[in-house]
A and B are shown apart, each in its own frame.
Chain A
């Protein structure tokens, strides 16, 4: 009878993509992340939820070493992608970020054409052999970003001229153009209207076929809608990490229950 279950939320693989162990993050004197260990699975959407300042964005930024750019920030512990330590001195953060794409809260297209926005990454990483190859990459990425149909006739118009929702999908297309293996999204829909949000969420669900997606969101409903796994952060601790359906119907930790039912913030 199990074939009748809602197969939707089944995770097809249990391969661990990102393994974090005993991660601590300090901003100067502030202890922002306290001893977080988590295994994030491949081809899965994992949502990080929690109140403001709980450390979810900080932890997300550890995964592609974005925190390196902050002087007072100190990261200790072990974060591995495909069993490779990403804080190993031999790892080039630029190469790492090609493998671990990121989409931010506010759409931030380059002040260039739509085409160049997407072509930028493949160009600097030398992913295209020639012009037609690059054209293919751009088209494929824009299709994956679910925006191709809307922009195919004006690829050389500036990316900044698009609507907010279109800009965000353009940024997603730009992020997938370098064929990353992991896609990090920090509040990707907070500047979008409900329809654009639904389109981006549908896109996230499709991206799951190829990528491991980690999304930070303030909207618990968004986490519930798009993710297979949910992690709840509170005061720098990872309180609970589990299957999304379980977290939202029967959480094990009382703090998780209080947060998702709107009793603590």
Chain B
């Protein structure tokens, strides 16, 4: 297939909305990392910057949706072009949600920094966030490179994030049973762990959009829920 449209302006429109997705992705990646670092280092100012930064992410999502609507109205995209525009709308929604979770993490950081630290849980959460950020980076790289294999790899890696979450869940439960004074902090930390786990799900959804964009079909949900920890407790 030819790479370019006869109407070069159409190519420029499509490139522009993808560039906006990439810009949004960059901001979200940064928000995840910064939020996790501010949690580990108990840096309230840094957390505040993450909270403020979420506005730019939300504004980009709105702009991307507007531009996608314009491209549909003005260019009537078909086949791969249509899939691209549809995927842009979904990916921007996923990125926006991840941004919200990072903001929530930062919010809890300012509460947690007033309390005694619970073991090394902040370090474990940062490692988990780092893993999600890496997955997001790969998912976005796969998006631009139209690389369905890399996207599938990202989908598979979500199982590791789920595992990390389950391990943390058990740990927090143990701390709370040991000493009720840990409950407030552990509740916040658990929400953070859960939010990072949800970020992983949104990254997975982005990777699924890559597979849809490249192949025209959404990947089968073959992955089994391996661990039922959070259901049994």
| A residues in contact (CB < 8 Å) with B | 1, 4-8, 195, 198-199, 201-202, 205, 221, 224-225, 244-245, 248-249
Convert B1-31 into 0s and 1s, putting 1 for each residue whose CB lies closer than 8 angstroms to a CB of A: 0000111111011001101100100000000
Q: Which residue on chain B has the smallest CB distance to residue A260?
A: B73
**Chain A hits for B75, CB < 8 A:** 224-225
- B71 nearest in chain A by CB position: A6
Q: In the assembly, what is the distance between CA of A205 and CA of B23, in Å?
A: 28
Interface string of B33-67 (1 = CB under 8 A from A): 00000000000000000000000100110010001
Q: Given A8-B13, A198-B7, A202-B6, do A244 and B74 touch, yes or no (CB 8 Å)?
A: yes
Distance to closest chain A CB from B194 (angstroms): 31
A205 with B16: CB separation less than 8 A: no
With an 8 A cutoff between CB atoms, is B233 at the interface? no
A7, A195, A202, A245: the one contacting B70 at CB < 8 Å is A245
A145 to B4, CA, bound (A): 20
Question: Do A1 and B63 touch (CB < 8 A)?
Answer: yes
* Pairs A-B, 7 closest by C-beta atoms: A198-B6, A224-B74, A248-B73, A6-B16, A249-B73, A245-B70, A8-B12
Assess the A221–B76 pair: CB atoms within 8 A: yes
Q: Do A6 and B7 form a contact, CB below 8 Å, given A221-B76, A224-B73, A245-B73?
A: no
Shortest CB-to-CB span from A185 to chain B, Å, is: 16
Residues of B within 8 A of A205 (CB): 7-9
CB-CB < 8 A to B63: which residues of A?
A: 1, 4-5
B interface, over-half SS: helix
Question: Which of B6, B7, B13, B56 is A1 in contact with, Cβ under 8 Å?
Answer: B56
CA distance A244 to B9 in the complex (A): 14
**With a CB–CB cut-off of 8 A, which chain B residues contact A7?**
16
A199 in contact with B6 (CB, 8 Å): yes
A247 CB to closest chain B CB, in angstroms?
A: 9
Chain B residues in the interface with A (C-beta under 8 A)? 5-10, 12-13, 16-17, 19-20, 23, 56, 59-60, 63, 67, 69-71, 73-76
Q: Which of B8, B67, B73, B76 contacts A5 (CB 8 A)?
A: B67
Min CB distance A254 to B, Å, is: 17
Which of B12, B59, B60 makes the CB contact (< 8 A) with A6? Answer: B12
Which A residues touch B10, using CB under 8 A? 225
Contacts of B7 in A (CB 8 A): 198, 201-202, 205, 225
Q: In the bound complex, how far is the Cα of B69 from the Cα of A202, in angstroms?
A: 22
Q: Shortest CB–CB separation between residue A201 and chain B, in angstroms?
A: 6
Closest residue to B15 on the A side, CB-wise? A6
Q: In the complex, how many angstroms separate the beta carbon of A245 from the nearest chain B beta carbon? A: 5
A7 CA / B69 CA spacing, docked (Å):
15
In angstroms, Cα B60 to Cα A202, docked, is 30
CB-nearest residue of chain B to A4: B20
B52 vs chain A, min Cβ distance (A) = 15
- Distance of B64 from chain A, by nearest CB (Å): 9
By the criterion CB–CB under 8 Å, are B56 and A225 in contact?
no
Q: Which of B16, B20, B69 contacts A8 (CB 8 A)?
A: B16
A9: min CB distance to chain B, Å: 8
* Residue of B whose beta carbon sits closest to that of A1: B59
CB nearest neighbor in A for B74: A224
In the assembled complex, the Cα of A198 lies from the Cα of B6 at a distance in Å of 6
Tell me the minimal C-beta distance from A209 to chain B in angstroms: 13
* Partner of B17 from A6, A201, A221, A245 at Cβ < 8 Å: A6
Beta-carbon contact of A249 and B8 below 8 Å: no
* List of A residues within 8 angstroms of B17 by Cβ: 6
List 25 interface pairs A-B (beta carbons < 8 Å), by A numbering: A1-B63, A4-B16, A4-B20, A4-B23, A5-B16, A6-B13, A7-B16, A8-B13, A198-B5, A198-B6, A198-B7, A201-B6, A202-B6, A202-B8, A205-B8, A221-B76, A224-B73, A224-B74, A225-B7, A225-B10, A245-B70, A248-B70, A248-B73, A249-B70, A249-B73
